[in-house]
Amino acid sequence: MSKNTFVRPSLSDLSTRSGTQVILTWESNPKLKGGKKNPQQGHVTKLSTAKVTLSGTGVYASRKVDEGEFSSSDEVQKRKWGTRIGNTCVIEHKGVEYVEFLVDGTPKTTYFLDDKEIPKSDVVGLSDSKRDSNVIICCVKSASVKIMAEEASD
Protein backbone atom coordinates (compact mmCIF):
# COMPACT_ATOMS: atom_id res chain seq x y z
CA MET A 1 0.00 0.00 0.00
CA SER A 2 1.41 3.37 -0.95
CA LYS A 3 1.54 5.88 1.88
CA ASN A 4 -0.21 8.41 -0.38
CA THR A 5 -3.51 6.47 -0.24
CA PHE A 6 -4.12 7.28 3.44
CA VAL A 7 -6.90 9.66 4.42
CA ARG A 8 -6.31 11.83 7.48
CA PRO A 9 -9.14 12.04 10.05
CA SER A 10 -10.25 15.50 11.12
CA LEU A 11 -9.13 16.91 14.44
CA SER A 12 -12.76 16.85 15.63
CA ASP A 13 -12.96 13.11 14.77
CA LEU A 14 -9.95 12.51 16.99
CA SER A 15 -10.99 14.76 19.86
CA THR A 16 -14.51 13.32 20.14
CA ARG A 17 -13.04 9.85 20.63
CA SER A 18 -10.75 10.78 23.53
CA GLY A 19 -10.53 7.92 26.01
CA THR A 20 -11.52 5.29 23.44
CA GLN A 21 -9.50 2.59 21.71
CA VAL A 22 -8.94 2.86 17.97
CA ILE A 23 -6.50 1.65 15.36
CA LEU A 24 -4.27 4.59 14.43
CA THR A 25 -1.69 5.05 11.68
CA TRP A 26 0.76 7.94 11.95
CA GLU A 27 3.80 9.13 10.03
CA SER A 28 7.15 10.17 11.49
CA ASN A 29 10.71 10.87 10.42
CA PRO A 30 13.06 8.44 12.18
CA LYS A 31 16.33 9.76 13.58
CA LEU A 32 19.22 8.41 11.56
CA LYS A 33 22.87 8.23 12.59
CA GLY A 34 25.57 9.81 10.44
CA GLY A 35 24.33 13.38 10.17
CA LYS A 36 24.63 15.06 6.76
CA LYS A 37 26.97 12.31 5.56
CA ASN A 38 24.09 9.81 5.63
CA PRO A 39 22.61 9.84 2.09
CA GLN A 40 19.18 8.84 3.43
CA GLN A 41 18.98 11.72 5.94
CA GLY A 42 15.71 13.59 5.34
CA HIS A 43 14.50 11.03 2.80
CA VAL A 44 13.16 8.30 5.12
CA THR A 45 9.67 8.28 6.62
CA LYS A 46 8.09 5.69 8.86
CA LEU A 47 4.43 4.72 9.08
CA SER A 48 3.37 3.14 12.35
CA THR A 49 0.05 1.39 12.99
CA ALA A 50 -1.14 0.27 16.40
CA LYS A 51 -4.09 -0.22 18.68
CA VAL A 52 -4.11 2.91 20.84
CA THR A 53 -6.15 4.67 23.49
CA LEU A 54 -6.68 8.31 22.61
CA SER A 55 -5.70 10.18 25.76
CA GLY A 56 -7.90 12.56 27.66
CA THR A 57 -7.65 13.99 31.14
CA GLY A 58 -7.16 11.12 33.58
CA VAL A 59 -6.59 8.40 30.95
CA TYR A 60 -2.92 8.04 31.88
CA ALA A 61 -3.75 7.90 35.60
CA SER A 62 -6.43 5.23 35.14
CA ARG A 63 -4.07 3.17 32.96
CA LYS A 64 -1.44 3.23 35.71
CA VAL A 65 -4.05 2.14 38.29
CA ASP A 66 -4.84 -0.88 36.12
CA GLU A 67 -1.13 -1.78 36.09
CA GLY A 68 -0.79 -1.36 39.86
CA GLU A 69 1.71 1.49 39.40
CA PHE A 70 -0.50 4.39 40.42
CA SER A 71 -2.17 4.89 43.78
CA SER A 72 -4.94 7.31 44.64
CA SER A 73 -2.48 9.32 46.77
CA ASP A 74 -0.23 9.96 43.73
CA GLU A 75 -0.83 12.89 41.41
CA VAL A 76 -0.60 12.97 37.65
CA GLN A 77 2.33 15.19 36.67
CA LYS A 78 1.55 18.41 34.86
CA ARG A 79 2.47 18.63 31.19
CA LYS A 80 6.00 19.87 30.55
CA TRP A 81 4.90 21.53 27.30
CA GLY A 82 1.64 22.40 25.58
CA THR A 83 -1.92 22.79 26.80
CA ARG A 84 -4.58 20.07 26.67
CA ILE A 85 -7.75 21.23 24.90
CA GLY A 86 -10.58 20.37 27.31
CA ASN A 87 -10.84 16.67 28.16
CA THR A 88 -9.61 15.60 24.72
CA CYS A 89 -6.54 13.95 23.27
CA VAL A 90 -5.61 17.24 21.56
CA ILE A 91 -2.62 19.22 22.85
CA GLU A 92 -1.86 22.74 21.56
CA HIS A 93 1.72 24.00 21.62
CA LYS A 94 2.97 27.18 19.92
CA GLY A 95 0.02 27.19 17.50
CA VAL A 96 0.43 23.53 16.48
CA GLU A 97 -2.05 20.78 17.43
CA TYR A 98 -0.82 17.40 18.60
CA VAL A 99 -2.67 14.16 19.34
CA GLU A 100 -1.73 12.26 22.49
CA PHE A 101 -2.32 8.53 22.79
CA LEU A 102 -1.20 5.42 24.63
CA VAL A 103 0.23 2.58 22.53
CA ASP A 104 -0.17 -0.90 23.95
CA GLY A 105 2.43 -3.27 22.54
CA THR A 106 4.68 -2.71 19.56
CA PRO A 107 3.38 -0.77 16.53
CA LYS A 108 3.60 -2.34 13.07
CA THR A 109 6.04 -0.16 11.11
CA THR A 110 6.68 0.38 7.41
CA TYR A 111 9.61 2.43 6.09
CA PHE A 112 9.72 4.55 2.94
CA LEU A 113 12.69 6.03 1.09
CA ASP A 114 11.55 8.90 -1.14
CA ASP A 115 7.98 7.54 -1.00
CA LYS A 116 8.98 3.97 -2.00
CA GLU A 117 8.55 1.20 0.57
CA ILE A 118 11.82 -0.39 1.72
CA PRO A 119 12.68 -3.06 4.30
CA LYS A 120 13.80 -1.80 7.71
CA SER A 121 17.17 -3.45 7.13
CA ASP A 122 17.79 -1.09 4.16
CA VAL A 123 17.47 2.06 6.29
CA VAL A 124 21.02 3.39 6.80
CA GLY A 125 21.85 4.56 10.33
CA LEU A 126 18.56 3.58 11.97
CA SER A 127 18.88 3.39 15.76
CA ASP A 128 17.38 0.46 17.61
CA SER A 129 14.67 1.75 19.91
CA LYS A 130 14.46 0.02 23.26
CA ARG A 131 11.53 0.54 25.57
CA ASP A 132 11.26 -0.26 29.26
CA SER A 133 7.49 -0.65 29.13
CA ASN A 134 4.86 -2.29 26.96
CA VAL A 135 2.80 0.90 27.21
CA ILE A 136 4.14 4.07 25.67
CA ILE A 137 2.65 7.54 25.50
CA CYS A 138 3.00 9.24 22.11
CA CYS A 139 2.27 12.80 21.16
CA VAL A 140 2.41 13.48 17.41
CA LYS A 141 1.42 16.44 15.26
CA SER A 142 -2.21 16.03 14.25
CA ALA A 143 -1.14 16.39 10.60
CA SER A 144 0.95 13.20 11.04
CA VAL A 145 -2.13 11.07 11.79
CA LYS A 146 -3.10 9.36 8.54
CA ILE A 147 -5.78 6.78 9.44
CA MET A 148 -8.11 6.19 12.36
CA ALA A 149 -10.29 3.10 12.39
CA GLU A 150 -12.65 1.65 14.94
CA GLU A 151 -11.54 -1.69 16.29
CA ALA A 152 -13.57 -4.51 14.75
CA SER A 153 -15.88 -6.23 17.23
CA ASP A 154 -15.85 -9.99 17.58
For residue 145, give the nearest of 25, 56, 52 by alpha carbon: 25
The CB-based long-range contact list for 133-137 (8 Å cut-off, 24+ gap) reads: 134/104, 134/105, 135/63, 135/67, 135/102, 135/103, 135/104, 136/102, 136/103, 137/55, 137/60, 137/100, 137/101, 137/102, 137/103
For residue 52, give the nearest of 1, 96, 102, 90 by alpha carbon: 102
* Measured distance CA(14)–CA(145) in Å, rounded: 9
pLDDT in tens, the chain (154 residues): 444 344 567 777 776 777 788 889 999 999 899 999 999 999 999 999 999 888 876 555 444 444 444 444 444 556 788 988 888 888 899 999 998 888 877 899 999 999 999 999 999 999 876 655 566 788 899 999 988 887 654 4
pTM of the model: 0.74
* Measured distance CA(121)–CA(66) in Å, rounded: 36
Neighbours of 62 (CB within 10 A): 13
Helix runs in the chain, H state only: 11-15, 59-66
